[in-house]
Structure 1
Amino acid sequence: MPSPPHKDEEAAVSAIDVVLVAFDGVEGLDVAGPASVFSKAEMLRPGSYRLHIASPCGGTVRTNGGLELANTLGLQQLPAAIDTLIIAGGDEPALRTAIVEQNVAGWLAATAPRARRIASVCTGAFALAAAGLLDGREATTHWRVCDLLQTLRPQVRVQRERIYVRDGRLWTSAGVTTGIELALALVEDDLGHAVSMEIARTLALPMLRGGAQPQLSQALQAQATASSRLRELLAWIGTHLQEDLSVEALAARVQMSPRHFAREFAAQTGSTPARFVEQARVAAAAQLLLQTHWTQERIASHSGFRSVDALQRAFARQHGQTPQAYRSAAFGKPR
């Protein structure tokens, strides 16, 4: 099994062979997202990755959006030494055909022992499960089919509220765009935090979520039922956490009286304005705890809290632990 390179190693290392497995009907973003991350890593650290796009039969693969991936390698054409193997997801009929009729599950079962790590994006977890690779392990998949995965494969410890899950050398991610965050985590595991953050900035990600974050953000869930005026306000809150976000200030922004605004906000989002703001600030603080080495004082200020004490009280309400305990838990074990 190949040995991983050391993090932040400046000297040249052998290129890491990454295989992305696609199939007819694959979700295009499940392939394009991780591929873009690894290509950006190669630009930043030339010689770090060698990317292969593969499919059961090779040749051209058509995604579920109608795009075509040309010149994919057949599974039997892949190099013997695969460092990182990633299986993409897709809609049920196409995925079932790949797993069963094209024997992707059998190929995964035979190939996995010689790979350093195996991963899935979205419903690609079903292929890993069919190959028996997730039995007894924690894993996740798209939120819509977490229950189905648990029903079909009771041996898997399905984590429904996770962006991605790492259990030893097995990595699984949630729906579609979370494949980008999974790939960034893999790059961080190989090349260090600075490289993964630079890629995130290059891709213009609004925020790099940690694996423990929920699949559906608080803001997205609230926006699903809010009016257009409140949807714009919810998005604005997320990028202006250091400003005055009192009921009076928010009401003035959408030209409502404070009382009417508070009633409408609660009716449309299922949350009071104060609770929504606190949750947004805690979410931002949680990200900074994982992504920086900042002090709690700096994190509190950047997230809109008036003091460390206010941050700690709000964090305890939402996470049941202190910010320091949250950070220690994240970095004290493999992510």
Structure 2
Amino acid sequence: MPTPTHKDEEAAVPASTVVLVAFDGVEAIDVAGPASVFSKAEQLRPGSYEVLIASPDGGTVSTNSGLQLGDTRSLDALPAAIDTLIVAGGDEPAVRHAILEQRIGDWIAQAAPRVRRVASVCSGAFALAAAGLLDGREATTHWRVCEMLQELRPQVRVRQQRIYVRDGKVWTSAGVVTGIELALALVEDDLGHEVSMDIARTLALPMLRGGEQPQLTPALQAQASASHRLRELVAWIGTHPQEELAVEVLAERVGMSPRNFARAFAAETGCTPARFVERTRVAAAAQLLRQTGWTQERIASRSGFRSVDALQRAFVRLHGVTPGGWRDTGRTEARRGT
């Protein structure tokens, strides 16, 4: 008897019931973020989704922030037809209890064959691993526990520097707010890019990142130890990569001399202004390469590079691959998930 492929696993099923699995100690945003995305998709395209919040025993669930989720459905009372199953994450003791004491992994293993696609947010990946769903697949989880997942489940190919990973019918995300981006990707897979972008604008996301983006962005790492005015400058650079970003221009924005600015920026962010600008522009170009069909000339201009040659050299320097190679990799990964 032939072994089913990942493509066979994802036979077309009309999108309908989305189940978000919670438990005591769950991270509230892991549930609320995706729920908000799917509810907004339902508003835009009525009849697309019904969102259910479930838990091992049903009833009220206490999140790790003290908020409570009322009237959750018990796992055993869920409808037979589940389109999308998403397991939220939480602090380690809560996840451990849900897996070892409440046997959530066993339930997922039994439910998975009748579910079109299964996903996790943050440390919810450990529940999928306990169910055996990640064995032989690529997956990710929160950057703090990627190594733990790899140690506990060597059969999993853990990708540490990814916002989310799709491997066949199984999707995993880095955690917390990246659960929103995972949900947007799921909606895009169902309803198209336009609907996903409309929801992203409604949620006022600064940008819609692709799954291949790093969990810790260059901007966030640069802001970690920077002063207030440099944090604001870093944020401004991130949203204006096409502007003139020479040291003299940036220094003037924060009221410093170019020499003092360059010294302070490097000391506070651990990166020279020129190197940070290059990383920001490459990140912007990477987004456009994966999410548009634009020419490299247009992408170079929109992301702040003066020429395609400059874009290509920067890409090879930071990623070891040309912009065309980066785009082709994204297409290969997308095909792999179908």
Q: Same fold (TM over 0.5)?
A: yes
**Aligned pairs (5 A) from 1:170-185:** 170-185=170-185
Q: 1:100 corresponds to which residue? A: 100
Q: Deviations over 1:66-86 (max 9, x none)?
A: 111111110011011211111
Between 149-158 and 216-225, report the one with greater CA deviation.
149-158
| Structure 1 residue 129: Cα displacement | 0.9
Cα distance in 2 for residues equivalent to 1:208 and 1:304: 19
- The answer (yes or no) to whether the contact 1:2–1:81 under 8 Å persists in 2 is no
1:270 aligns with 2:260: no
Query: Matched residues in 1 for 2:121 and 2:206: separation?
Result: 20
Q: Structure 2 counterpart of 1:272, which letter?
A: T
Matching of residue 213 in structure 1 with residue 213 in structure 2: yes
Distance 1:2 1:276, change over 3 A: closer
**1:175-213 CA distances to partner (integer Å, 9 max, x unpaired)?**
200001111111111111121111111111101111110
Alignment-derived partner of residue 312 in structure 1: 312
Report the AA paired with residue 172 of structure 2: T
Q: Is 1:163–1:213's contact at 8 Å kept on the other side of the alignment?
A: yes
CA–CA distance in structure 2, aligned partners of residues 310 and 94 of structure 1? 49
Q: Secondary structure at the match of 1:244?
A: coil
CA offsets per residue over residues 197-236 of structure 1, 9 Å max, x none?
Answer: 1111111110111111000000100110111221111111
| Worse overlay, 247-256 or 201-210 | 247-256
CA contact (8 A) 2:10 2:117 kept: no
The one-letter amino acid of 1:52's match is L
From the superposition, tell whether residues 142 and 2 of structure 1 become closer, same or farther in structure 2 (CA, over 3 Å). closer
CA RMSD of aligned residues (A): 1.4
Partner of 2:162: 162
Deviation for aligned residue 1:333: 3.2
Q: Where in structure 2 are there 5+ consecutive unaligned residues?
A: 1-8
Aligned to 1:152: 152
Could you tell me how far apart the structure 2 residues matched to 1:320 and 1:59 are? 51
* Corresponding residue of 2:65: 65
Once the two structures are aligned, what percentage of the paired residues are identical?
74
Alignment of 1:7-22 (within 5 A): 14-22=14-22
Q: Verify: 1:88 aligned to 2:88, yes or no.
A: yes
Match of 2:5 in 1: none
SS at match of 1:109: helix
Alignment of 1:1-335 (within 5 A): 3-4=11-12, 14-334=14-334
Q: What is the identity, as a one-letter code, of the residue corresponding to 2:12? A: P
Per the normalisation by structure 2, the TM-score is 0.93
Post-superposition offset of 1:311: 1.4
Q: 1:319 to 1:175 in 2, by over 3 A?
A: same
Q: What amino acid is aligned across from residue 321 of structure 1 in structure 2?
A: V
214-223 or 152-161, larger mean C-alpha shift: 152-161
**CA distance in structure 1 between the aligned counterparts of 2:198 and 2:289, rounded to whole angstroms:** 18
Q: Which amino acid aligns with 1:184?
A: L
Q: Which runs of 5+ in 1 are unaligned?
A: 6-13
Does the residue aligned with 1:150 lie in a helix, a strand or coil?
helix
The amino acid of 2:216's aligned partner reads: L
Q: Is the 8 A contact 1:108 1:128 kept in 2?
A: yes
Residue 106 of structure 2 contacts residue 131 of structure 2 at CA under 8 Å; is this kept in 1? Answer: yes
Q: Which runs of 4+ in 1 moved over 2 A?
A: 1-5, 332-335
Q: Is the 8 A contact 2:10 2:168 kept in 1?
A: no
Moved more, 222-231 or 289-298: 289-298
